[in-house]
Structure 1
Amino acid sequence: MAPSKLILAACVAATASGVHAEPRSYDASRADQFLNAQAEDIVPEERESRAVYARHAAYDAAMFGQVAVLTYNQIYAQAVDRQSGEFVGFNRFAHDRNLATPGYAPFKTPNADTLYSNAYLDLSQGPVLLTVPPTKGRYYTVNFLDLYGNASNISARTHGTRGGRFLIATTDWGGSVPAGVTLFRVTQPYMWILMRIEAESPKAVPEVRKLQDQFILEPTTEPSGKVSYPAPATLDDPAGFLKILNWVVENGGVRNEELGHIHPWRGIGVGGPVSVDEAMSDEAVQEGVRAGFGDAKLVIMRNLAQNGTPTNGWREPFDIGRYGFNYEYRATVNTLGTGANVRLENFAFTTFEDAQGEPLDGAKHDYVLRLKSAPPADFFWSITVYDGQTQELVPNAKSKYLVGGNTPDLITNKDGSVTLTFSMSAKGPNAVPVPHGLFYLALRAQGPRREMLDGTWRPSPLKKLAK
């Protein structure tokens, strides 16, 4: 067995048995005469050693910061850059007024049965008041994501559909909460809201648009206007990336438990007295940083195939939207796409292969999926087809992109099972068109029930049908 699989197997076995080899920790502040360092740590004087130091620090910073930088780039486009076509500013919703269709621009692998809205919150000067209207049983989620992709929700699952008013505040805010308002605390002063409202069909869109306008954000204070924002960057621009990460650390912060983790990055310009430009003026540091970023990018791209646990040819998420200290997994998930919710809210399976492990290919085969029962969800479920090359919805004459619990006239077998087909010549309510080429499926359950969460229910593998 490969070393990585041995490690994974050992971790799974330890979790299953309830035996954890957790390191012991202690609170040094409670010890007599324990003193913290007051001087800066050393940066190696010898050139080769300095490059090695920078390479390790850069790899660590790139892996830790990938999701933060990706999210920051989104913030910059919608809330900072007034020249952007996406600009609306902080603490305001930008609503998508139509269901996603082929060519949907904001992101890949979109839902095709919800309308999206985005807002970026600036809570640095105080809370924001959120009004949620009654949705009359219609599913919605106001999904909060911090700069590190950790998710929380005000949703039909967590708060029902009667509506309410919520004061969105950071954990260190200490003001008073108005009568009739519920306090909802978030981790950071800069947050992303990705809101989804169920639209069971195109006919429901006008009603959902009206609901979108009734979700209202009201700042309780004026923004400071004193914050400067670095330009967007990616892993291919290490200096730009580190400038953003430094901004995130200074303005968004990190968990108390992570202060020690980020401390070594001070020597490459993050979280300390030395700027990124000053650090990178040293050729040895610059060489090491570039190598470290190259390492991180290579590892992330090779990790993409490990996104989720294999199940009957599908991959199911683990700890998505709640990453803890799993920085490699966090970077991998968010490189595929930011905005992943916790699976208590949205349990999503994906599959790229059939029962024989061969890639799904509409040019070669038709496919059948026989589910022992409809996916157990409190709100709704759907299975959506995506082009394997573009990660977008598949153009077709019927403009049909999914099948699910909201599909009109969906046929359920007498034993409660559901048979679905995926074919270029799809016919009937239980069939969805696929492209002439590679494709993949995403099965989503909004408000998954216990039998999905505990593993009792899992999707079956796709089987080939003769053309």
Structure 2
Amino acid sequence: MAIDGTPGAGLTKEQLAEEVTHLSTPDLLKTPFGDLEFFDGVPRAESVQTIFDALDLLRGIDAFLTAVPGASLVAMRRGLRSAGIDSPGKVGYTDPRANSASLFLTPNTETTYGTTFLDLKAWGPTVIEAPPQSLCVVDDFWFRYVADMGIAGPDRGAGGKYLFLPPGYDGDRPDGYFTFESPTFTNWVVLRTLGGVPAMKQTRIYPLSDAASPDDTTFVNIAGVLQNTVHANDFSYFEEIAQLVAEEPASALDAERAGTLAAIGIAHDMPFAPDDRLRGILDDAARIGAAVSRALVYKPRDPEAYFWEGNSWKNAFVGGSYEFLQGGARNLDARTQFHYFATVITPAMAHAQVGAGSAYAYTAEDAEGHVLDGSATYSLRIPADPPAKNFWAVDLYDTQTRSLLQSTPYPALSSLEGTVQAEDDGSYLLWFAPTAPQGRESNWIPTIPGKSWFPILRLYGPLEPWFDKTWQLPEIRKQAS
């Protein structure tokens, strides 16, 4: 029979022999893992362990790339706990705003943040009273979107009571709340208020069981507390993931990603105890996975990651989907690209709208395609009439930690401060160098010799010229020494 089911003449012996060559493995196969030897398709004993070592390495790299979202929040919770935010009833905030002292993935220096973690296993159903005129998000422990509160949420900025239920909850669901069920017990809460710290302190978080007489929520200023909220890039990365998998129900993760983790010894209700062989392989896998992640962030190969053809300015949220879906498939590279250097998942962030939310662009290279060098002097011209309804800002980050560059407490410039000087044509010429060019101090952000860096431009309330691409950022230019 032919392939389409109709009668056919079949293959000749010569054709069949040719087909066999396409489905066979040669007796000597040269690979990046070394030479592999077979006898008529059966691996020889001396090659079997090499093959399984290769499989474990490949699975480890894949596990790193697909688990970055979860590792990011495990590290975030660990960092916040070190700063004293060890209960859902405690909210850490940054007053007056985030600075470069601690390690956080790409925060801005223009916003006062508030943050905590819900523990639905310890507290059960939990209430958050969202402050008015706020932009607040709840993500689950695998960094998947659960809910918006405030302006982008169902209370539309009026303030409201939100009820978060643990996975598998089958109890009462009282009226009077915007109710959401999370697939994980641990959930990350991010609070941003247009009214600053006083408005943030109107937030209340308490167990539903205490709703009749809840305790006061405690607020802790963590702006000056040194902490690391960034996940590891070595073997300990997998220990972070193992902690997450152990804490959460097996149902919290899809079967495919759970299978990838189980293949390297990370599974629910099973201790993660790799032997020395696997431990060494996973250390290599984490370092290679981090290398791949850095390529996806700083030099992505997807054309959609670039805003303008022939220009290096990049989009962190490729595809405009908070679930990283394109044509019914998960864009795995886009998910890793975003989560390796940024935080907060919400539809409002993935798909900005004219005059609302914010838009972002970043690059890690100059006009010649070279990595930005903290020892050199660079300039960036922000064209006239930046398309921002509210204001624009440029922050600098450390390429290793993806955190604010520690050249100054606030390595940023913005139109909000009113100190940036415009050129005669209405554009703004910004400078990046270890020392300020003479007469350009108001438009300068210091860099660190011996370190690289990258900027993020934020447009708060992006306007139509941003979306129709009639306004475009030029490349960063290195100045002659």
Residue in 2 that maps onto 1:112: 109
CA distance change for structure 1 residues 385 and 372 in 2, over 3 Å: closer, same or farther? Answer: same
CA distance change for structure 1 residues 61 and 248 in 2, over 3 Å: closer, same or farther? Answer: farther
Structure 1 segment 391-430 matched on structure 2, within 5 A: 391-393=403-405, 395=407, 401-408=411-418, 418-422=427-431, 424-425=436-437
CA distance change for structure 1 residues 426 and 376 in 2, over 3 Å: closer, same or farther? Answer: farther
Would the aligned equivalents of 1:267 and 1:274 in 2 still touch at CA under 8 Å?
Answer: no
The alpha carbon displacement at 1:214 in A equals 0.9
The alpha carbon displacement at 1:93 in A equals 1.3
CA distance in 2, matches of 1:352, 1:264: 32
The alpha carbon displacement at 1:209 in A equals 2.1
- 2:198 is aligned, of 207, 210, 230, to 210
Would the aligned equivalents of 1:347 and 1:446 in 2 still touch at CA under 8 Å?
Answer: yes
Residue in 2 that maps onto 1:382: 393
- 1:150 is aligned, of 133, 144, 147, to 144
Percent of aligned pairs with the same amino acid: 17
Would the aligned equivalents of 2:57 and 2:284 in 1 still touch at CA under 8 Å?
Answer: yes
The alpha carbon displacement at 1:260 in A equals 3.5
> Which SS does the other structure have where 1:316 is aligned?
coil
AA at the equivalent of 2:102: A
CA distance in 1, matches of 2:413, 2:191: 22
CA distance change for structure 1 residues 52 and 422 in 2, over 3 Å: closer, same or farther? Answer: closer
> Which SS does the other structure have where 1:58 is aligned?
helix
Give the greater-gyration-radius structure (CA). 2
CA distance change for structure 1 residues 115 and 178 in 2, over 3 Å: closer, same or farther? Answer: same
CA distance in 2, matches of 1:54, 1:360: 36
AA at the equivalent of 2:299: Q
Residue in 2 that maps onto 1:64: 66
Structure 1 segment 87-98 matched on structure 2, within 5 A: 87-98=85-96
AA at the equivalent of 1:348: Y
Would the aligned equivalents of 1:119 and 1:192 in 2 still touch at CA under 8 Å?
Answer: yes
Residue in 2 that maps onto 1:235: 234
CA distance change for structure 1 residues 426 and 110 in 2, over 3 Å: closer, same or farther? Answer: farther
Q: Provide the TM-score with structure 1 as the length reference.
A: 0.67
Structure 1 segment 38-437 matched on structure 2, within 5 A: 47-48=49-50, 50-79=52-81, 84-101=82-99, 103-124=100-121, 126-135=124-133, 140-151=134-145, 153-158=148-153, 159-169=155-165, 173=169, 177-198=173-194, 208-221=196-209, 235-237=234-236, 240-241=239-240, 243-247=242-246, 250=249, 253-254=252-253, 258-263=254-259, 265-271=261-267, 275-277=271-273, 280-281=274-275, 289=282, 292-306=285-299, 308-309=305-306, 311=308, 312-319=311-318, 321-324=322-325, 325-339=330-344, 342-343=349-350, 344=352, 345-360=357-372, 364-365=376-377, 367-377=379-389, 379-386=390-397, 391-393=403-405, 395=407, 401-408=411-418, 418-422=427-431, 424-425=436-437, 431-435=443-447, 437=449
CA distance in 2, matches of 1:347, 1:189: 31
CA distance change for structure 1 residues 112 and 285 in 2, over 3 Å: closer, same or farther? Answer: closer
The runs of 5 or more residues in structure 2 that have no matched partner are 1-44, 211-230
* TM-superposition CA deviations, 1:295-353 (whole Å, max 9, x none): 43443344342354264332222348533534444334333344466333442111333
Would the aligned equivalents of 2:118 and 2:188 in 1 still touch at CA under 8 Å?
Answer: yes
> Which SS does the other structure have where 1:433 is aligned?
strand
The alpha carbon displacement at 1:130 in A equals 1.5
Query: CA RMSD for the aligned pairs?
Result: 4.0
Residue in 1 that maps onto 2:474: 460
> Which SS does the other structure have where 2:314 is aligned?
strand
> Which SS does the other structure have where 1:333 is aligned?
helix
The alpha carbon displacement at 1:119 in A equals 0.6
For these two proteins, the number of residue pairs brought into alignment is 387
Q: Is 1:445 aligned to residue 459 of structure 2?
A: yes
CA distance change for structure 1 residues 180 and 306 in 2, over 3 Å: closer, same or farther? Answer: same
CA distance in 2, matches of 1:181, 1:412: 48
CA distance in 2, matches of 1:466, 1:48: 51
